[in-house]
Structure 1
Amino acid sequence: MSTSQSPRRPFTRRTFLSLSAAGGLTATLAACGGGSSPREGAADPAPATGDGGASGYDGPNVDLKFWNGFTGGDGPTMKALVDEFNTEHANIAVTMTTMQWADYYTKLPTAVTSGNGPDVGIMHVDSVPTNAARNVIQPLDDVATALGLAESDFAPVPWKAGLYDGKRFAIPLDVHPLGFYYNKDVMEEAGLDPEAPPMDNESYMSALESFKSAGIEGHWASPFPFTGGLSLQSLIWQFGGNLFNEDGTEVLWAEEPGVKALTWWADLIKQGYSPAKVDQDADYVAFKNGENAFNWNGIWQINDLKKTDIGWGVAALPNIGGTDAAWAGSHQFVLPVQKAADDNKAQASRVFLAWISEKSQAWAEAGQVPARNSARESQEFTDLAEQSELASQIDNLHFLPSVPGIGDSMGEFDKALNAATLGGTDPATALADAAGRAQKILDDNAKKYGG
């Protein structure tokens, strides 16, 4: 269900995903892959013109539609920013419409084709290349040039991820990485120092043994994409591997690093550190209930945990495989293609995008890491202790390659995780079988999208 909010009312302000919405991320991750072929008969979007919003907007009143999927605790923060923008820009009225991310990715291409799409949108980084290839979103090189934006202004990983086919299609707003949550109460119960979470494989396994001796299953291994799949991806990078080659044409997760990573994850069950069958989100619920000690989860859980009365802490992911690495996502601004050209709306949309991009420090309070270096390095952000801790991973974060439809193949990756974690399939076999199926998807997508 979507909600529209009137822009001309008086100003009134995972979490990214609360526990109740956590299942939505699974749908989102699946949806990010796209899966539809390029729009039939669609022409390449015309090169962007104008000054990218640098000179502001002094034209007649315009109404802009802004779509996003911020239905959780981050929604009020974005709504407050939209309201603030509207009060400062008398001739631009932005209406924000929110919907579940899965619905957003389904509705957006159809709306754009019919000429009823939004003027501004938000997109997860792994959806950008697919929608660029399908001519759903337009290049933003003019915005980056007008604002003097460069890689030096942003964390390199999300900045580069907005590029597709040599053009910029997205401006990064944030990154939301995986982090290591530890229950201090449970650590004390097992005789461990609650202020010294284990940060390497040796100390991590030692801690799990201590929990086991105390009758506690310390780290529950989720067989689901959220968050088991995100954890497994992180482990593969930590063991020195990759999911794909650099240009996204070859599946690599069945190589030795992938086998080591999935073996480590499945062994959490075999060695008695985790229950054999963990339901969706049960690992996080158990963490909040003091039934386990360690949980690898997203930054979006910070605000949710602040509502509890348990003793907890958060840190960068432990280095299990020898290389610091973690999964991350990123929200990025996009401008959908417009069926009918409107120079006034085009300029006003760029003014809005530029303005709100500079407000990333305020956005951090919703439980995100700002993509802009200046915001991340500010005292205001440093004072957000938990977000700052997870931001320490900024140079070690990983995204999928910027290839249209690459997310389609990740469904096979998740099947390998499930087979090894729930079904007891040998990790090497599970990964190899999944890689074979995923490779066919990559090959088919290369033909579909003209690669």
Structure 2
Amino acid sequence: MHIPLGSPATPAPSRRRFLGLAGAAAGVGLLTACGGSSGPTVNTGQATGKAYTGAYTGPKVSLSFWNGFTGGDGPYMKKLVEQFNAEHHNIKVTMTTMQWADYYKKVPTAVMAGQGPNVGIAHQHWLATLAARRAILPLDDVARELKLAESDFIPAIWQAGLYQDKRYGIPLDVHCLASYWNTDLVKKAGIQDPSSGFESALAKLAAGPARQPFWMPNQWPAHMIFLSLLWQNGGTPFTSDASKAAFDSDAGVTALTWMIDQMKKGYSPKNVALDTQYNAFKTSRNAITWDGIWQINDLRTTAPSLHWSVGFLPTIGHTPAVWADGHNFVLMNQKSDDNKLAASKTFIDWIGQHSAEWAGAGMIPARNSARSGADFKARPQAAVATKLGAFRFLPAVPGIDDVGNQSYVQAVAKAVLGQASPKKALADAARTADQLLASNRQKFGS
């Protein structure tokens, strides 16, 4: 089925996204650790203030709202903010966007200086780091005041917002890896659904309309593919307490070996550079690619003549599983009067209730109510939101993004490039990860 046009491009050039988050992770060590110096001279308890009654009735206030929605998702959030301002004469929200790399470096520093925003957005896997840096406030009281509970959300994303038994994020969406396929090539190969019997589908495609149907990248999103396959084979990236690496298990070796086998079978060329597999898909040089759902809108605008479809990642291992992350609302840990805090609660609550509109950015709304309407069910990513229990998230551990970037991300690249065997690459990376995890426990005081 040809996906209809209609939405601007989503965030993605994956190169910018990958390098941005990696750069942010590298910069986090420059910030003051929670176990180090005196930290921010601000409150460290719950974000309480005046009781929330469902609407802000105080004097006019101005709120600053920071995020990293610099891609095609930006216009959707901008439109929501403008709509909010139009409906709330006593609240003026000013949105500031910046690259995620800059965002994650700037937020803690700005909060320390008392110049941070009132409201922000954070990826799930960054919540623990920001909380350990005391850059954001616990939101258990806010969640109760807004009458939010796990039953309102995808359970996994609700639980992913916890760090040390406190809630630091109010979930907005989930985004995950997905499988895209060229419907014209799949049809020519006589395949109805390439997600069912995936390897058989690749063999048929290779024997027919697509000699190399499934290009395997060595960089972004290669580590997401690896993690998804790791979970599918019963493994985990880290031990249950996240004190040690576990991605070098038999499940990890099996996952990484499968990735390399795609080249050995001739389904993928070697040395697939960053973004090459995605660009090849847009020009019909391959038939299937695995990438994030944030590419949905990019495909609509940059490849308008391409006929494609998208679905949940095929189960290559024993259990359906897919790498996932999410955007969360956060409140900054700085001095703020009760009126601004109450207005911030109103803003977060309003955007959450309108998150079905945010789905236009290519995301999956975290709220169940936003996914139950006909508008969302008609969107391409609805086909990905069919196995919500299979979404997998990184553990809530400070600095976990940096650990991954310096360990299994590098191991996947080395193995796919043929520079090391899967077993050796993962074993070496696990030792690096263990050292980083130990260092982070000292750095973050937890």
Q: Taking structure 1 as reference, are residues 245 and 420 closer, same or farther at Cα in structure 2, changes over 3 Å only?
A: same
The Cα of 1:166 is off from its aligned counterpart by 1.4
Matching of residue 237 in structure 1 with residue 231 in structure 2:
yes
Q: Is the 8 A contact 1:179 1:297 kept in 2?
A: yes
Q: Which amino acid aligns with 1:311?
A: H
Describe the SS at the equivalent of 2:157: helix
The answer to which of 31-40 and 99-108 deviates more is: 31-40
The aligned counterpart of 2:4 is none
| 2:415 alignment partner, one of 420, 429, 432 | 420
The Cα of 1:205 is off from its aligned counterpart by 2.0
The aligned counterpart of 1:270 is 264
The Cα of 1:209 is off from its aligned counterpart by 2.2
Q: Which runs of 5+ in 1 are unaligned?
A: 1-12
Matches within 5 A, 1:391-430: 391-411=385-405, 412-430=407-425
The answer to which of 58-67 and 250-259 deviates more is: 58-67
The Cα of 1:148 is off from its aligned counterpart by 1.4
Q: Which amino acid aligns with 1:198?
A: S
The Cα of 1:37 is off from its aligned counterpart by 4.4
Q: Which amino acid aligns with 1:286?
A: A
> For the residues of structure 2 that align with 1:147 and 1:49, how far apart are their CA atoms?
12
The Cα of 1:336 is off from its aligned counterpart by 0.9
Matching of residue 27 in structure 1 with residue 19 in structure 2:
yes
Cα displacement string for residues 153-178 of structure 1 (whole angstroms, at most 9, x for unaligned residues): 10011111111111111100000111
> For the residues of structure 2 that align with 1:172 and 1:287, how far apart are their CA atoms?
32
Q: Taking structure 1 as reference, are residues 52 and 128 closer, same or farther at Cα in structure 2, changes over 3 Å only?
A: farther
Residues matched between the structures, number: 429
The aligned counterpart of 2:310 is 314
Q: Which amino acid aligns with 2:369?
A: S
The Cα of 1:55 is off from its aligned counterpart by 4.2
User: With structure 2 as the length reference, what TM-score do the two structures score?
Assistant: 0.92
User: With structure 1 as the length reference, what TM-score do the two structures score?
Assistant: 0.91
The Cα of 1:409 is off from its aligned counterpart by 1.2
Matching of residue 198 in structure 1 with residue 192 in structure 2:
no
> For the residues of structure 1 that align with 2:64 and 2:370, how far apart are their CA atoms?
26
Q: Taking structure 1 as reference, are residues 431 and 15 closer, same or farther at Cα in structure 2, changes over 3 Å only?
A: same
The aligned counterpart of 1:258 is 252
> For the residues of structure 1 that align with 2:18 and 2:53, how far apart are their CA atoms?
38
Matches within 5 A, 1:281-300: 281-300=275-294
Identity of aligned residues (%): 46
Q: Which amino acid aligns with 1:402?
A: A
Q: Is the 8 A contact 1:143 1:354 kept in 2?
A: no
The Cα of 1:28 is off from its aligned counterpart by 4.1
Q: Is the 8 A contact 1:180 1:314 kept in 2?
A: yes
The Cα of 1:56 is off from its aligned counterpart by 2.3
The Cα of 1:15 is off from its aligned counterpart by 4.1
Q: Taking structure 1 as reference, are residues 275 and 350 closer, same or farther at Cα in structure 2, changes over 3 Å only?
A: same
> For the residues of structure 1 that align with 2:416 and 2:299, how far apart are their CA atoms?
27
The aligned counterpart of 2:213 is 218
> For the residues of structure 1 that align with 2:383 and 2:282, how far apart are their CA atoms?
20
| 1:279 alignment partner, one of 263, 269, 273 | 273
Q: Taking structure 1 as reference, are residues 124 and 32 closer, same or farther at Cα in structure 2, changes over 3 Å only?
A: farther
Describe the SS at the equivalent of 2:62: strand
Q: Is the 8 A contact 2:9 2:300 kept in 1?
A: no
RMSD of equivalent CA atoms: 1.8
The Cα of 1:246 is off from its aligned counterpart by 2.3
Cα displacement string for residues 386-425 of structure 1 (whole angstroms, at most 9, x for unaligned residues): 1110111311001111011111210211110011001341
The aligned counterpart of 2:337 is 342
The Cα of 1:14 is off from its aligned counterpart by 11
Q: Is the 8 A contact 1:135 1:337 kept in 2?
A: yes
Q: Which runs of 5+ in 2 are unaligned?
A: 1-6
Q: Which amino acid aligns with 2:396?
A: S
The Cα of 1:16 is off from its aligned counterpart by 3.6
Matching of residue 303 in structure 1 with residue 297 in structure 2:
yes
> For the residues of structure 2 that align with 1:77 and 1:198, how far apart are their CA atoms?
31
Q: Taking structure 1 as reference, are residues 14 and 444 closer, same or farther at Cα in structure 2, changes over 3 Å only?
A: farther
| 2:374 alignment partner, one of 379, 386, 391 | 379
Describe the SS at the equivalent of 1:64: strand
> For the residues of structure 1 that align with 2:242 and 2:22, how far apart are their CA atoms?
17
> For the residues of structure 2 that align with 1:234 and 1:14, how far apart are their CA atoms?
28
Q: Is the 8 A contact 1:164 1:402 kept in 2?
A: yes
Cα displacement string for residues 202-245 of structure 1 (whole angstroms, at most 9, x for unaligned residues): x3222222333346111111100x21111111000011110012
